[in-house]
Structure 1
Amino acid sequence: MTYPVPTLGEHDVRVAVSHCGLCFTDIQAIDDFYRITSFPFVPGHEIVGRVEARGSAVSELKEGDRVGIGWQGRSCGRCRWCVRGEVHLCYDIAEMGTWERHGGFADSVTVDASFAYPLPTSMPSDVAAVLMCAGISVYAPLTRYAGDGPRVAIYGLGGLGHLAIQFAHALGYEVTAFSSTTAKEEEALGFGADHFVVTGNRDRMRPLDFEFDLLLCTAHGDVDWQAMIDLLEKHGRLVLVGFPEVSMWARDLVAHEVSITGSFLGNHAAMREMLSFAQAHGIAPRIERRPMSDVNDAIRRLKEGNVRYRVVLNHASSAGRHSDPIGPGTQDLASPGA
């Protein structure tokens, strides 16, 4: 697929993409799960690359700078949320490669320069790519809602959950990981969880009722919502960062004064803080690295649930122009089915 390169506005930068993460939201957009995808489109919103051109009003970035770009590529700058600095809640948000704009599976992307974040010098490009969406999605609610020294539960141990455990541990919280299988227990504890619980057996979970101040749900599929509400201490908070269907009786929400809220990305300050915090504490996703030519196989494996824990696609033509750092603990899967 080819399409015209967008006109470079005075506040824009054009970025040659070297790495792009594969997110489950990409799958939902490809499948038009929400019936809002504008076809044809190019997926990809966990982007790292080098600035190759900048608009006349851009002074904070220069050609050759390595930057990360997440789900959001620009905002209106005028609405009440933009004026407050909460640009991620803009009424006229422009997403990268999700439902309307062409994203990081392409050779280059054009965004407002304020949404192209300079990366820590030694942060690997494949690590940074995942942090641009998955990282901020879990870091923002953990810092916004957790308070001081709470008991935190992470429900779901996948691409988001394994990062949430690392961030929560580094923030000093007591962390309990909930997963549907014992297969990930050793890894969860290695990521920093203090405790591990297998879901599905209500009697086994009942001793944990009223145990947690914050429960971060990263799951997309079926969830026992009543069991989750029961886990919350009074005044506790259940935060959703995935997109599951929610159905529950409101009795305990009222009687225990617990709340359910969503969390969506983060503003400029949160994004910069997250990148700095991750670098300082050695937080990194577990990555399978694939060439962009393997994108269809990577999509298939993610749909089948066979990825641990994130996939990052490499643009060989762009990555070869500079010596970008590569993350430790990554796995190269250079051929389909590897």
Structure 2
Amino acid sequence: MTTSVTAYAAPAPKAPLERTTIERRPVGEHDILIEIAYAGICHSDIHQAREEWGSALFPMVPGHEIAGIVTEVGSGVTKYAVGDRVGVGCFVDSCRECENCLAGDEQYCLKGEVATYNGKAYDGSPTYGGYSTHIVVDENYAVRIPDGLSLDVAAPLLCAGITLYSPLDHWNAGPGKKVAIVGLGGLGHMGVKIAHAMGAEVTVLSQSLRKKDDGLRLGADRFYATSDESTFAELAGTFDLIINTVSANIPLDAYLSLLKREGTMVHVGGPEFPSSFNQFSLIMGRKSMAGSKIGGIRQTQEMLDFCARHGFGAEIEVITADRINEAYERVVSSDVRYRFVIDIASLKG
């Protein structure tokens, strides 16, 4: 039988989130029941709750940066036991049969992966995310949180961490590579930490120098303000890899001018409106522009182990559930350093 659990949900597009109850499915043979301890607030939660990325499903319980403890396991579960520390990221199922799933890239499932929230399971039932006390997931779509990471700083790694780790790993950030991170926010600050730990030379490109001290503390070698026109002249032809983390439209041609010959600019932020650029910005230098979307389960586990090995999680501000709407406004205003994390204990009682 289903179980009623407490959650925070957006009842309609752009409506304030409010306390409610939702139904979680019974624990099946290969399922685990997770008592959620912390859930990160991702900017994509806001985009979807405000229906800025197209038609969405309501009521919506956001949250795909989930960290908690296993409290029940199905009879066929082999990967986890009661008491294990686990995380759930942006998807909770995939077809498991297509070439992308078989390659460990379930996030690019050709049938369409099942989103942790604002999605539908393959049986047609809606999915609800981590702004809730419990979640039931298939054991194959959870990851183990290493003992070296506390659950609160680990939660944002399930989206922000893997969103940056995946392209940095794919495009071989490391010693001898010059990497620029555009934007020092929830995504960007993880990019700085991860690229630095990989051994790359890291530069932050931010609108102003307001966060310079933070950027250098987190591992950046250099920090430049993009509002200063001289920045683009000074850094022309500098970078092997640029990771653009911002969820707003930027002048792409100006940023492409910063790439070396055969350099790549990768987009991981999703602005509300389409972007445009001049193809000659790529042609003159055999440059590339690409996108990247989180990582598969195997790579997400690799990322968590990497962060634990290097001794860091996300930079967080922990809030109670009754401050979610306030936190949304602060995220939009870039008033967070660098990820809000909801203490789910505040939902109980």
Would you say same fold, with TM above 0.5? yes
Aligned to 2:41: 22
- Any unmatched runs of 5+ in structure 2? 1-19, 121-126
Q: Is the 8 A contact 1:16 1:318 kept in 2?
A: no
1:54 aligned partner, one-letter code: V
Partner in structure 1 of residue 89 of structure 2: 70
What letter matches 2:113 in structure 1?
I
Q: Does 1:42 align with 2:42?
A: no
- Once the two structures are TM-superposed, the CA of residue 153 in structure 1 deviates from its matched residue by 0.6
2:330 counterpart SS class: helix
Question: 2:173·2:179 contact (CA, 8 Å) conserved in 1?
Answer: no
2:109 to 77, 87, 90: 90
Distance 1:241 1:79 in 2: 24
Deviation, structure 1 residue 147: 4.9
The residue that corresponds to 2:26 in the other structure is 7
Q: Taking structure 1 as reference, are residues 98 and 24 closer, same or farther at Cα in structure 2, changes over 3 Å only? A: farther
- Matched residue type, 1:179: S
Structure 2 SS opposite 1:269: helix
The share of aligned pairs that are identical, in percent, is: 36
- Using the TM superposition, give the Cα deviation of residue 146 of structure 1 relative to its aligned residue in structure 2, in angstroms: 2.9
Instruction: Work out which of the residue numbers 210, 215, 230 in structure 2 matches 1:188.
Output: 215
More displaced, 18-27 or 145-154? 145-154
Give the drift of 1:11: 2.0
5+ residue gaps, structure 1: 321-338
Q: Secondary structure at the match of 2:22?
A: coil
- Checking the alignment, whether the CA contact within 8 Å between 1:29 and 1:99 is kept in structure 2 is no
Deviating beyond 6 angstroms after TM superposition, the runs of 4 or more aligned structure 1 residues are 317-320
Q: CA RMSD in A?
A: 1.7
Q: Deviations over 1:143-189 (max 9, x none)?
A: 11035521111111111111111111111111111100111111111
- Give 3-state SS (helix, strand or coil) of 1:188's partner: helix
- Say which SS state the counterpart of residue 216 (structure 2) adopts: helix
Residue 312 of structure 1: aligned partner: 341
Q: Tell me the number of residue pairs that the alignment of Structure 1 and Structure 2 aligns.
A: 320
Deviation of the 1:308 alpha carbon? 1.3
Could you report, residue by residue, the CA deviation over 1:228-250 in whole angstroms, capped at 9, with x for unpaired residues?
10000011000011013321110
Aligned to 2:71: 52
Q: CA deviation at 1:318?
A: 8.4
- Relative distance call for 1:154 and 1:147 in structure 2 (3 A) is closer
Structure 2 SS opposite 1:32? coil
In structure 2, how many angstroms separate the alpha carbons of the residues matched to 1:204 and 1:117? Answer: 41
Distance 1:298 1:317 in 2: 15
CA contact (8 A) 2:173 2:200 kept: no
Query: 147, 150, 153: which is aligned to 1:127?
Result: 153
TM-score, length-scaled by structure 1 = 0.90
Which aligned pairs between 1:229-308 and structure 2 lie closer than 5 A? 229-244=256-271, 245-308=274-337
Instruction: State the partner residue of 1:201.
Output: 228
Shift of 1:283: 2.2
Equivalents in 1 of 2:231, 2:101: separation in Å?
46
What code does the residue aligned with 2:116 have?
Answer: M
Match of 1:331 in 2: none
Matched, 1:214 2:241: yes
SS in 2 for 1:182: coil
> Which position in structure 1 is the counterpart of 2:184?
157
Q: Work out whether 1:142 is the aligned partner of 2:168.
A: yes
Which residue of the partner structure matches residue 250 of structure 2? 223
For residues 223-281 of structure 1, give each alpha carbon's deviation from its aligned partner in whole angstroms, at most 9, with x where no partner exists: 12111100000110000110133211101212211111111111222111111111111
Q: CA deviation at 1:82?
A: 1.0
Deviation at 1:203, TM superposition (A): 3.3
Give the match's secondary structure for 1:261: strand
> 2:149–2:312: 8 Å Cα contact kept in structure 1?
no
TM-score (normalised: structure 2)? 0.87
1:207 deviation in Å?
A: 2.2
Structure 2 residue aligned with 1:334: none
Corresponding position of 1:330: none
Q: Partner letter of residue 222 of structure 1? A: N
Shift of 1:97: 2.2
Native 8 Å contact 1:21 1:312 kept in 2: yes
**Kept in 2: contact 1:41–1:99 (CA 8 A):** no
Q: Which amino acid aligns with 2:304?
A: L
Q: Which amino acid aligns with 2:267?
A: L
Secondary structure of 1:270's aligned partner: helix
